[in-house]
């Protein structure tokens, strides 16, 4: 090789090899500077006593900070909660409110129930997470307690309600291919309009709510939607596609749709149709379960037994995310090792909390309490139906809703803001329905006071000039 060509080759090496290295070093120095910057921030955070954060900042400061750092996928009522006990919550300034949302029925046992909190404190000192790569000494007890409480044979634990929904649909498909012998890749799950089963891609592919599915396409195939609370369309779908249908999923009472209660006998007819066509009945009891409607499970109102029950929210009493599905041994064993799982599902901390949460439901007879208090509550607020802009009060147990006329100048939003100012917290679902779901531990004096707040608010707001109606 000539000297000239050797020189050119050396120049090329410097250009193509060493220059990127120099650039990389420059980038690395830039990275180190940023790391140092973030390390300084971390050190500043370490100096903050976490026990002092609660109550340290005002409502206004907290809202501004969340708006700045948090994604805007929620539009909360303009109130900050820093403490909760039973049915009551407090903001950083010490104002007390009655909670009539219960974290979408996750806090059925009341905020920070002492027995559940004590179970968490005790377990957190021992071990909190093992993964399911190993056995832990709490999950088997939790599984036994849950199965015996609901009279099912096996449980598969997860964390969020959405994960439990996905688990139920996957189990239905596994069963469909293995037991019903549906041709591979052609299993169908039927759902209903107005459904809400979470925010996953599979679920929003079934949704008819534009807020849930817009700009998330393409959507997943393999689902058919039928009208809620109508048997004939379901019969037709089952007769046409029954050989391919592995499951029918629905909420016994539709929560996010506005506490929509099906006609008496509907769920029983659904159960009979599913048995006739060998279709698994999948009941989403994430919101309606654990005594919320006045029964241990909402299905109990019609003596129905779902093949797969989806559970969440109050399974932990609102302390941490715990969800599960329960089913028969024959169905559940369609899953085999490696075909489904969750790192945190069934962890010992969640299991200890879940046991305590179920014990509270039983010991405090919260099904009976919800049933009795719900009847009293609906009677106490019934006078507001005399207002021409109030369409209906409906509910079961302590899962209730007030629906106002869609064309009314007074909106559910206006009412929730006024209720907040009077010390009661709830939120609209859609724009004309107010869901009212207090913790099931609410006492009769508390219920009486809350009923008076609600009725007086509806009565007074009718006289407000438009300028006095508040929105957020």
Cite the active site residues. Answer: 196, 284, 313
Secondary structure (DSSP) of 298-331: GGGGGT---SEEEE-GGGGTTSS--EEEEE-HHH
- Whole-number Å distance between alpha carbons of 198 and 185: 24
Pair type for strands 427-429 and 424-425 = unpaired
Where in 49-134 does DSSP place strands (E)? Answer: 83-85, 88-90, 96-99
d(CA 202, CA 166): 8
Phi and psi at 428, nearest 5°, equal -75, 150
CA-based nearest residue to 443, from 371, 369, 388: 369
- Among 327, 310, 451, residue whose Cα is nearest residue 378: 451
For 14, the 3-state DSSP assignment is helix
Rounded to whole angstroms, the Cα distance separating 320 from 349 reads: 9
Q: Which residues, in sequence order, are bridge partners of residue 189? A: 223, 247
Tokens of 160: 């969020």
How far lies 100's CA from each of 47, 79, 441, in Å? 37, 14, 12
| C-alpha–C-alpha distance, residues 195 and 245, integer Å | 18
Report how far residue 145's alpha carbon sits from residue 236's, in angstroms, rounded to the nearest whole number.
Answer: 40
446 contacts: CB under 8 Å, gap ≥ 6:
87, 98
Strands 433-436 and 399-404: antiparallel
CB atoms within 10 A of CB 122: 11
- Residue 200 sits at the vertex; the CA angle it makes with 194 and 202, to the nearest 5 degrees, is 75
Helix axes 114-124, 348-363, angle to 10 degrees: 160
Q: Are 286 and 313 in contact (CB under 8 A)?
A: yes
In the sheet with 188-192, reading across from the earlier edge strand, the strands are: 154-158, 323-327, 308-311, 280-284, 245-250, 188-192, 223-226
The span from the CA of 260 to the CA of 429, in Å, is 11
Which residues sit opposite 311 in a β-bridge?
A: 324
């Amino acid at each position: 090789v000539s000297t000239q060509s050797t020189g050119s080759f050396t120049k090329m090496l410097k250009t193509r090899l060493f220059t990127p290295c120099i650039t990389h070093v420059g980038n690395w120095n830039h990275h180190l500077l940023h790391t140092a910057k973030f390390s300084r921030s971390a050190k500043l955070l370490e100096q903050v006593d976490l026990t002092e954060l609660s109550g340290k900042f005002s409502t206004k400061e907290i809202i501004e900070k969340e708006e700045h750092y948090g994604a805007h996928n929620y539009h909360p009522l303009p109130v900050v909660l820093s403490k909760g006990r039973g049915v009551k919550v407090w903001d950083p300034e010490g104002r007390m409110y009655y909670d009539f949302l219960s974290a979408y029925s996750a806090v059925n046992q009341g905020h920070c129930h002492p027995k559940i909190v004590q179970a968490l404190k005790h377990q957190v000192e021992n071990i909190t997470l093992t993964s399911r790569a190993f056995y832990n000494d709490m999950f088997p007890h939790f599984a036994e307690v849950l199965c015996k409480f609901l009279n099912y044979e096996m449980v598969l634990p997860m964390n969020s309600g959405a994960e439990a929904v996905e688990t139920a649909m996957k189990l239905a498909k596994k069963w469909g291919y293995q037991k019903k012998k549906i041709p591979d890749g052609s299993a169908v799950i039927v759902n209903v309009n107005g459904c809400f089963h979470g925010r996953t891609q599979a679920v929003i592919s079934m949704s008819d709510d534009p807020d849930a599915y817009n700009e998330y396409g393409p959507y997943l195939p393999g689902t058919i939607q039928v009208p809620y609370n109508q048997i004939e369309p379901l019969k037709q779908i089952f007769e046409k596609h029954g050989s391919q249908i592995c499951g029918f999923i629905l909420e016994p009472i539709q929560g996010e749709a506005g506490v929509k209660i099906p006609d008496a006998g509907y769920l029983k007819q659904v159960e009979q149709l599913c048995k006739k066509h060998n279709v698994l009945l999948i009941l989403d009891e994430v919101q309606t379960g654990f005594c919320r409607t006045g029964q241990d499970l909402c299905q109990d109102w019609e003596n129905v037994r779902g093949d797969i029950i989806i559970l969440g929210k109050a399974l932990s009493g609102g302390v941490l995310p715990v969800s599960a599905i329960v089913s028969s041994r024959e169905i559940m064993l369609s899953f085999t090792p490696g075909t489904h799982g969750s790192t945190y599902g069934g962890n010992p901390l969640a299991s200890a909390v879940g046991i305590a949460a179920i014990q509270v439901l039983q010991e405090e007879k919260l099904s009976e309490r919800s049933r009795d208090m719900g009847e009293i509550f609906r009677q106490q607020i019934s006078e507001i139906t005399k207002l021409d802009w109030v369409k209906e009060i409906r509910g079961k147990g302590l899962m209730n809703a007030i629906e106002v006329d869609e064309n009314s100048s007074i909106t559910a939003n206006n009412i929730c803001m006024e209720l907040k100012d009077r010390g009661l917290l709830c939120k609209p679902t859609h724009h004309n329905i107010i869901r009212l779901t207090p913790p099931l531990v609410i006492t009769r004096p508390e219920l009486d006071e809350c009923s008076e707040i609600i009725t007086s608010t509806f009565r007074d707001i009718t006289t407000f000039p438009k300028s006095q109606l508040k929105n957020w």
